[in-house]
Structure 1
Amino acid sequence: MIFDVASVRKHFPALQAGFAHFDGPGGSQVPDTVAEAVAATLTSPLANRGRVTRSERTADDIVLGARAAMADLLNADPRGIVFGRSMTQLTFDMARTLAAGWGPGDEVVVTRLDHDGNIRPWVIAAQNAGATVRWADFDPATGELTEDHIVAVLSPRTRLVAVTAASNLIGTRPPVRAITDLAHAAGALTYVDGVHYTAHTAVDVAALGADFYACSPYKFLGPHCGVVAAAPELLESLHPQKLLPSSDVVPERFELGTLPYELLAGTRAAVDFLAEMVPGTRDGAASRRERLLASMAAVEQHEDRLRARIEAGLAELAGVTVYSRAAVRTPTLLVGLGGREAAAYEFLAERGINAPAASFYALEASRHLGLGDAGALRIGLAPYVDGADVDRLLAALTDFVTGESTAG
């Protein structure tokens, strides 16, 4: 499948500013169609959802359309798509709801590979319930989180296993299906953080075995909001704290207020854009899910090619350490520069290259790698990154490492 990155880039107004964006893991740039969908919604007649007035129908259609789009992206049931302000907010809400049934003697498993958004909500909820938190480590030498790491902390008292589908810090993609199978065999639920994973590969929530799957549209070309996908039957069994007059229907009972219709319209537009990035998928014969599978496969190949070029270039630079070493990983590289990562961040920024240095909320992972709270330089790819961007990055890093400057 051909991926025409030049054609894709034409849809990103932000790229006209001339920057090379390797900061996608923190939030992607937005295509014109997403911005247009947001603007069109804000300038349309709108009201709270309903089916009587035109304004009510507009809002209702937007919500239903966004649920259907996310269901196609994740291969999930649209009746189980929950929207919220962010993945973090939704995870805190789900943690509080699930923890209402926990008590002393119960256990929750979290991993040191995860973003804090899939750690701290569970740690806090467990502490408030008197439950025990069990920590699954990963191998800092390889970046791998294996089934053995999970087996070591599972027990018959485990109520939930929270695990990332891909590390936002070093890109590791652990064997999620094997982990969820282990958790289910122990009688536990699974909460999978797919925020970083969803941006780089085709997602199938059922195939992953995730009871809950969380992601963020602003990581895959959409606006800032959060999504959790779960089986409607599972959501029916849960009862979050909410306002008395608000709907108790699933999934609305978890959304806690009027939804941001413009952001949901943008989310649908982002999914549609992803589905149409490969020209051969744009005819009407294929379903949106089929088009997404083809398009995301092409994106993955494109990003992997660029990642290989970056890795080859970094290997030629003295004093550079790459912490992204797992056998299966996203196109995200965490790079050490002998303690000069913050200076490199600024050096690159001066040359119009966005590649930040931090721990990126993956605090436990950064500490486990021996990087403390400071982390390192992160180079992340997105569909709109091209070979010229990679050349700029490698040239600038070469100048930084060798002490030369091409600023002018």
Structure 2
Amino acid sequence: MGAFDVVAVRKQFPALDEGAAHFDGPGGSQTPQVVADAVSRTMTSALANRGQLTAAERRADEIVAGARQAMADLLGTRPDGIVFGRSMTQLTYDFSRTLAKTWSEGDEIIVSRLDHDANVRPWVQAAEAAGATVKWIGFDTETSELDDIAPLLTDRTRLVAVTAASNLLGTRPDTVRIAEQVHEAGGLIYVDGVHLTAHAPVETSYADFYVCSPYKFFGPHLGTLTAAPELLETLRPDKLLPSSDAVPERFEFGTLPYELLAGTTAAVDFLAGLGGTGTTRRERLVRSLQLVEEYEDGLRDDLESRLAAIPGLTLYGHAASRTPTLLFTVEGHPPAAVAEQLARAGVNAPAGSFYAYEPAKLLGIGLTGAVRAGLAPYTDQADVDRLVAAVERLDRSSDH
């Protein structure tokens, strides 16, 4: 395995030249030049609807195939099980409506109070429309560990929706074990991998459905779902009559955004080049993301210990396995005011509940939420130092 070189990584991001320390990656990462170039190059090249007759048709076809293969390499899955959509939220609504066609009264759907609302509300609403029962998995507000799912599973469990990592608290539940339990009960599992995929190598074949968003890992704004093609063959979404019924195109409504798919492939290639070595792109991705995880966790530990030493500061989220994402409040300072003062210091660390409606409610921080500081591969020690110094200045200026 190679080495992680944060100085070289930072040089690839033009946005960093503006001078801010970016801790806003959980809401969307900054973009490397190679991804912007791929998008621009695609939009200025001849394009048409997919086909094999003209160069423009072939280019569109190759871009789609390339993006499916790139995402399959990233997720450890098959390209013919990759579905693209406008966002993870849109894909989840689409699949919740399609799956709900197979549900009936008395069937049970399980959702988690740890999850982003995009992996909660679509299932709750689909269950209500189908007359199915909704059950909830809670979490420990002290440790932020997800509760045991076993007591909720029955032979009527049809689907469990759970996050691979909380976008609010960073908690990484053991989704592989949860999937085993769900499958033993005869249900399906739908895993929200949006927050995790940017921070660690993932292998997703354990999940029936796994969704993520390329714009969290340096790519353009769209969503991706992976599932076994054999499972996708059994599902019948509402679709236009002339549109393709082949899997995975069956689930992609309208013309795909070719430029964004080209950018997605470029983002995956960028990830594969973050120090990892190997003969295949999958090998390079796994090893690069292992380096990223090790690097980010080291910075997180430093940042966490220094924030914890600041009087009046409360840190949330203490799971044994976590992403490099910290959530905190400072006594006497509304979270929005903290974020504002950090922004004035050139530190981008926003405040809110970040669509994690259920966990924020359970924690008692509500929609006001807290300040979230998310680390990324382009975060360096100087960024961490700036954040800590800005929060320390905030504490000293509390008599304003």
TM-score for the superposition, normalised by structure 1: 0.96
In 1, Cα distance between equivalents of 2:65 and 2:395:
51
Partner of 2:18: 17
In 1, Cα distance between equivalents of 2:341 and 2:317:
22
Q: 1:389 aligns with which of 383, 394, 397?
A: 383
Matches within 5 A, 1:168-179: 168-179=167-178
In 2, Cα distance between equivalents of 1:324 and 1:274:
27
1:107 aligns with 2:108: yes
Partner of 1:138: 139
Amino acid at match of 1:159: R
Q: 2:322 aligns with which of 329, 334, 343?
A: 329
1:212 aligns with 2:209: yes
Partner of 1:183: 182
Amino acid at match of 2:223: G
Partner of 1:363: 357
CA contact (8 A) 1:136 1:152 kept: no
Q: 1:240 aligns with which of 237, 240, 245?
A: 237
In 2, Cα distance between equivalents of 1:114 and 1:66:
27
Q: Give a deviation string over 1:42-97, Cα, whole Å, max 9, x none.
A: 00000000111110000000000000000000001100000000000000000000
Partner of 2:300: 307
Q: Secondary structure at the match of 2:152?
A: coil
Amino acid at match of 1:101: T
Q: Give a deviation string over 1:10-52, Cα, whole Å, max 9, x none.
A: 0000000000000000000000000000000000000000111
Task: Flag structure 1 segments of 5+ consecutive residues without an equivalent.
Answer: none
Amino acid at match of 1:272: D
Partner of 1:343: 337
1:289 aligns with 2:282: yes
Partner of 1:379: 373
Q: Give a deviation string over 1:182-205, Cα, whole Å, max 9, x none.
A: 110111000000000000000100
Question: Offset of 1:152 from its aligned partner?
Answer: 2.4
In 2, Cα distance between equivalents of 1:397 and 1:193:
32
Amino acid at match of 2:96: A
In 1, Cα distance between equivalents of 2:122 and 2:174:
23
**Percent same amino acid among aligned pairs?**
62
Amino acid at match of 1:122: W
User: Size of the alignment, in residue pairs?
Assistant: 397
Partner of 1:277: 274
- Residue range with higher mean Cα deviation, 36-45 or 310-319: 310-319
Amino acid at match of 2:305: A
CA contact (8 A) 2:324 2:375 kept: yes
Partner of 2:196: 197
In 2, Cα distance between equivalents of 1:401 and 1:49:
58
Q: Secondary structure at the match of 1:205?
A: coil
**Aligned-residue CA RMSD (Å):** 1.1
Q: Give a deviation string over 1:332-376, Cα, whole Å, max 9, x none.
A: 011021252111100001111100000000000000111122110
Q: Secondary structure at the match of 1:110?
A: strand
CA contact (8 A) 1:158 1:186 kept: yes
Question: Offset of 1:175 from its aligned partner?
Answer: 0.8
Question: Offset of 1:404 from its aligned partner?
Answer: 7.5
Amino acid at match of 1:277: L
Task: Flag structure 2 segments of 5+ consecutive residues without an equivalent.
Answer: none
TM-score for the superposition, normalised by structure 2: 0.98
In 1, Cα distance between equivalents of 2:379 and 2:10:
8
In 1, Cα distance between equivalents of 2:13 and 2:166:
26
